[in-house]
Amino acid sequence: MSEDVIKGKVLKHDTQTRTMHWIHLLAFLILGITGIGFYWDIAGIANIFGGPANSSLVHRWTGVVFTVAPILYILLNFDRFSRFVDTITSFSKDDFAWLKTMGGYVPFIKVEEVPPQEKYNAGQKILGILIIIGCLLIILTGFPMWLWRDVVAPATLALCYNIHFWTAIIMILLVLGHFFLAAIHPKSRVEFSSMMLDGYIDAQITAEHNAKWFAELQKTE
């Protein structure tokens, strides 16, 4: 059965996007666990990876995967990535209106009608921007901590560690929030199988949550 004949569903994330997301997620988990382990000197975590030095080695090489995976994805899917960046960096009146009501996700904010959204809602756009910036900061500070630790000034090295640590903490919190909304929250947990399994999402839900994008899809049909 080909992808475009599944009735009542639309393809939101293609195979390469889902593969990259899976790789990046697994790398992020390993990086987060090992990083927390040696930053707070938790022997239990370090020992899972064969002690502190080996845990650091796993962290560094996973960092390479964390860097190379999105680079490869961007090179192989440059148009798609450009559109993604275009989408997440364009904020319309509807996006600001969505942010005012938090898209109806927050129980104590009363919402009569959620403004129509593109492929990604305003919250996802902000998350996307923050994740890209966070990844860049983590990568740009991580490699000097590893490869140039002998040559950079002590204060610069300390600065890299601080930026790396605080960015990682913010990223972990963002990813936890992302996981809650995408996998647990009853209003949006259908997104989970779309990114993590087959890439498809219910057309009816898309028509409600991403009305502008759904309208575009209908036009192109």
- Rounded to a whole number of angstroms, the minimum distance from the CB of residue 120 to another protein is 37
What count of other Cβ atoms lies within 10 Å of the Cβ of residue 23? 17
Beta carbon nearer to another protein, 50 or 177? 50
> CA 22 to CA 135: how far, in whole Å?
15
Is residue 38 close enough to count as binding another protein by CB under 8 A?
Answer: yes
Query: What residues have CB less than 8 Å from 85, skipping those under 6 apart?
Result: 132
Beta carbon nearer to another protein, 17 or 54? 54
Is residue 144 close enough to count as binding another protein by CB under 8 A?
Answer: no
Beta carbon nearer to another protein, 38 or 105? 38
Q: Distance from first CA to last CA of the chain, Å, rounded?
A: 19
Confirm if 130 and 213 have CB atoms less than 8 A apart: no
CB neighbour class for 90 (10 Å; exposed up to 12, middle 13-18, buried from 19): exposed
Q: What is the DSSP letter of 153?
A: -
Is residue 50 close enough to count as binding another protein by CB under 8 A?
Answer: no
Binding to another protein, residues 56-95 (CB under 8 A): 56-57, 59-60
- Rounded to a whole number of angstroms, the minimum distance from the CB of residue 146 to another protein is 7
Question: For another protein, how many residues bind (rule: CB under 8 A)?
Answer: 24
Beta carbon nearer to another protein, 167 or 210? 167
Confirm if 22 and 196 have CB atoms less than 8 A apart: yes
Binding to another protein, residues 151-180 (CB under 8 A): 153-159, 161
Of the candidate residues 53, 68, 184, 215, the single one contacting another protein (CB under 8 A): 53
What count of other Cβ atoms lies within 10 Å of the Cβ of residue 194? 21
Beta carbon nearer to another protein, 5 or 153? 153
Q: What is the DSSP letter of 7?
A: T
Q: Which residues bind another protein (CB under 8 A)?
A: 38-39, 41, 51-57, 59-60, 145-146, 149-150, 153-159, 161
